[in-house]
Amino acid sequence: MSITPFLTLLKEGKLRTAIQANALYKPFYTLTYLAALKHCGVMDRLSSGPASLEDLASIHASDAKTREALESWLRMGCGLKMLAVTSRGYVLTGLAKKLSQPENDATLALLQEVGSLHYRLITETPDKIRKGELWQLGDQDGSLTARSSRALEPFVLEAIKRHLPGSRPCRLLEIGCGSGIYIRHATAHNPFLTAVGLELQDDVAQVARKNLEEWGISDHVEIKTGDIRTLPVAPDFDMATLHNNIYYFAVEERTRILARIREFLKPEGMLLLTTCCQGGNPGIDALNLWGASNAHGGRLPEKAEMIDQLRQAGYREVDAMRLIPGDSFYAFGARQ
């Protein structure tokens, strides 16, 4: 092999840039492939055991040409060390094998979201806003978001334990309940708790109802599909929670929303709000972009701005707690 081309690139000042760019390719291909591996169903198939090319082709290929395409796609997975070929067929390996395990589903879902919604946000937003268009709530896969949001679950759970009473009757209103997982944690923390989970997207609400049945808590938790802005007011809740969704409301609307939530609380009732704030890692920047560029919400709040909006909405004893050291994920506690 001749080194002349490399010397030419070095002399022209192009080699360093080419090397830096080349370092980006494999992580991109790996992330994209992992997301597709789950999305197309191959990860789920291989998580139960090896499968031959013929087995996979019976589901994913209809003729000789598409079988050839499938084999090339699987070969790419082997090159990325996400798949391997054994005497029994294709198997998951490396990170793909770990992500296929149920306990890592939140991490897998977040990776899928990066490879789908976040990718589209980065590549398509400039053209959209140039045309005067914004993203719609339907552009987001609600069930995928419900899964990926569980990556923050351990940190939100700490906030729940800090603010939710654990040994007396308590009625909870959770706004944007997602999969219902945080209500489940709340009921585990307080066996005397009853709750209403409000969810804007009907498909997500259906998932939550199914989960409650499986968890055995549907007898004291109700899931409603609706919008806090139009839900009839009933001031009989001891606590309201907003977990990871304040950015689904426009910035200029948030104080009014927070004030409306107060109307659902009993005297001395509390609001617990968890959210990423401005700054932090690239994932938080992507979340900020989603909020800023969709028709239904707004950018992430600043920490001081969130405290100020809570006070303007009439809450007292507002406090903020950083939930992830060194990052901008906070819990805000505010009392009536």
Residue 222: strand, helix, or coil = strand
pLDDT at res. 164 = 95
pLDDT at res. 6 = 74
pLDDT at res. 192 = 95
Query: What's the whole-model pTM score?
Result: 0.86
Mean pLDDT within 118-122? 97
pLDDT at res. 72 = 98
**How far apart are the C-alpha atoms of 113 and 115, rounded to whole Å?**
5
> Which tens digit of pLDDT belongs to each residue from 285-312?
999 999 999 998 999 999 999 999 999 9
Residue 317: strand, helix, or coil = strand
Candidate from 3-17, 88-102, 109-123, 220-234 with smallest mean pLDDT: 3-17
According to DSSP, the residues that pair with 32 across neighbouring strands are none
pLDDT at res. 22 = 94
Mean pLDDT within 42-69? 96
Reading phi first (left if > 0) and then psi (alpha if -120 to 50, else beta), residue 162 is in alpha
How high does pLDDT run on average in the chain? Answer: 94
CATH of region 143-335, choose from 1.10.10.10, 3.40.50.150, 3.40.1390.10, 3.30.1360.200: 3.40.50.150
Taking 80 as the threshold, does the pLDDT of residue 42 lie above it?
A: yes
Pairing outcome for strands 265-276 and 329-335 = antiparallel
Taking 90 as the threshold, does the pLDDT of residue 9 lie above it?
A: no
- The values of phi and psi at residue 115, to 5°, are -75, -10
Does 4-100 match 143-335 in CATH topology? Answer: no
Domain limits, the chain: 4-100, 143-335
> Which tens digit of pLDDT belongs to each residue from 251-283?
999 999 999 999 999 999 999 999 999 988 999
Mean pLDDT within 323-329? 92
Q: Where residue 143 falls among pLDDT bands split at 50, 70, 90?
A: confident
Mean pLDDT within 144-159? 90
> Which tens digit of pLDDT belongs to each residue from 62-93?
999 999 999 999 999 999 999 999 999 999 99
**How far apart are the C-alpha atoms of 157 and 24, rounded to whole Å?**
35
pLDDT at res. 203 = 87
**How far apart are the C-alpha atoms of 96 and 93, rounded to whole Å?**
6
4-100 folds as: Arc Repressor Mutant, subunit A (1.10.10)
Q: Where residue 3 falls among pLDDT bands split at 50, 70, 90?
A: confident
**How far apart are the C-alpha atoms of 208 and 146, rounded to whole Å?**
9
- The values of phi and psi at residue 77, to 5°, are -60, -35
